[in-house]
Amino acid sequence: MTTPPPERHPESRTVHPPAAEVTGSRPLGVPIHQGHVFAFDDPDALAAAFTDPAGAFLYGRMGNPTVRTLERAVADLEGGAAALAAASGMGAINSVLLALLRSGDHVIAQRSLYGGTMAMLGDLAARWGVQVTHVGGDSAEEVRQALRPNTRLLYLETISNPMTRVSDLPALTAVAREAGVLSVVDNTFATPLLCRPLDHGADIVVHSATKYLGGHSDVLGGVAVFASAELHAKVWHHASELGASADPFTAWLTLRGMQTLALRVRRHCDSALALATRLAAHPAVAAVHYPGLPQHPDHALAGRLLDGGHGGMLAFEHVGGRAAGHAFAGAVRLAALAPSLGGVHTLVMHPASTSHRQLDDEQLRAAGIGAGTIRVTVGIEHPDDLWADLDQALAEAG
Ligand SMILES: Cc1ncc(COP(=O)(O)O)c(C=O)c1O
């Protein structure tokens, strides 16, 4: 196994991930190892493989050469000791939560988490007696106040969905560390190209690889990266029981997508800033939420935490409220009306008429979302074509 020299930039590391040596030559594309059962000559070596996550391959649910190449590549980019690839982002998140929590434990979680994570925490609370306190992502004091003797995890997202608030990772994880509480950060929106949460005090980073890592809306996957081999081993044992492991084709597609991650992220960031700036000047737009804009509440924090851009996600408020937001979502022509994010295609969503349709205007406001909020995941199309599309959809929505 060769690992890239530490002085190499992330742009080079994505193209040259740690690679398995093959005698005499080295395939530039990672091979797909479809085999899931591995034979041993020595019974003691087989016994050892059951307990060593970095050891010999044994059975596909516990490890596979292609999957391990993906794990090493993401651990390398995030600066972690080891990683665990899963069948989806939720597979990675659940592997971490179920491995580290037991009933009666307390979790401090950011208020504006991805809906699936929120639902999972709600389920853990209702069915397994895990206590959950929600906090904003900006106040270390609020986290300090929320601490209890049984607090086990602090759970944050680097950039939140859909209002793009940026978490003060160094301040919040410092409070957790002081209290002996593990910090888990979902870094899906930022990617390791813009932020490496382990460098800011996190113990575990999770990703929906379905999004920017894969990048082409054709793979469903997840990865959890660990600051220490001990933490990785603990979660690995539970994850192999849970059975949410990534399969080799998922790993291969994700690795293939990751080779262009740096180029895509740069383009996503540049185009999102260009669109956010133009949206902010449009009379049908009441507000734009993008950390790259000076008026964003976390602009200064984003400048300290995010390196090289502010991400490809933005949201804006249509002045016409719910009806206009709904009409806008149906009026886009180049962008697609679709869930998910982080791929090469630009997608829009109107939460009030889709993912959050069960909430009235007041409940939406409590969730931090406006009735006319539109979420945009900015793809890599030409920004002028994207603007022409958003502009015509704004005109049509009235
Ligand atoms: C921030 C974030 N984390 C996790 C997930 C879950 O990922 P997956 O759909 O791959 O299970 C998503 C999905 O949208 C997400 O946006």
Interatomic CA distance for residues 388 and 310, integer angstroms: 22
Set 168, 186, 247, 298: catalytic member: 186
> Does residue 382 contact residue 327 with C-beta atoms inside 8 Å?
no
> Does residue 241 contact residue 364 with C-beta atoms inside 8 Å?
no
pTM (predicted TM-score): 0.96
Interatomic CA distance for residues 366 and 360, integer angstroms: 10
Using CA atoms, how far residue 136 sits from 86, 142, 170, 178, in Å, is: 28, 8, 14, 19
CA 153 to chain CA centroid, nearest Å: 18
DSSP state of 263: H
Interatomic CA distance for residues 84 and 68, integer angstroms: 8
- CB atoms closer than 10 angstroms to residue 308: 12
CB 250 less than 6 A from any atom of ligand 1: no
Interatomic CA distance for residues 349 and 282, integer angstroms: 19
Using CA atoms, how far residue 274 sits from 265, 268, 314, 317, 373, in Å, is: 14, 10, 11, 17, 19
CB 18 less than 6 A from any atom of ligand 1: no
Query: Of 19, 128, 145, whose CA–CA distance to 70 is shortest?
Result: 19
Cα dihedral value 191, 141, 138, 98, nearest 10 = 40
CB 120 less than 6 A from any atom of ligand 1: no
Per-residue pLDDT of the chain (398 residues; tens, 9 = 90+): 567 787 899 999 999 888 766 667 778 888 999 999 999 999 999 999 999 999 999 999 999 999 999 999 999 999 999 999 999 999 999 999 999 999 999 999 998 889 899 999 999 999 999 999 999 989 999 999 999 999 999 999 999 988 899 999 999 999 999 999 999 999 999 999 999 999 999 999 999 999 999 999 999 999 999 999 999 999 999 999 999 999 999 999 999 999 999 999 999 999 999 999 999 999 999 999 999 999 999 999 999 999 999 999 999 999 999 999 999 999 999 999 999 999 999 999 999 998 888 888 888 887 788 999 999 999 999 999 999 999 999 999 98
Nearest-atom number in ligand 1 for the CA of 342 is 16
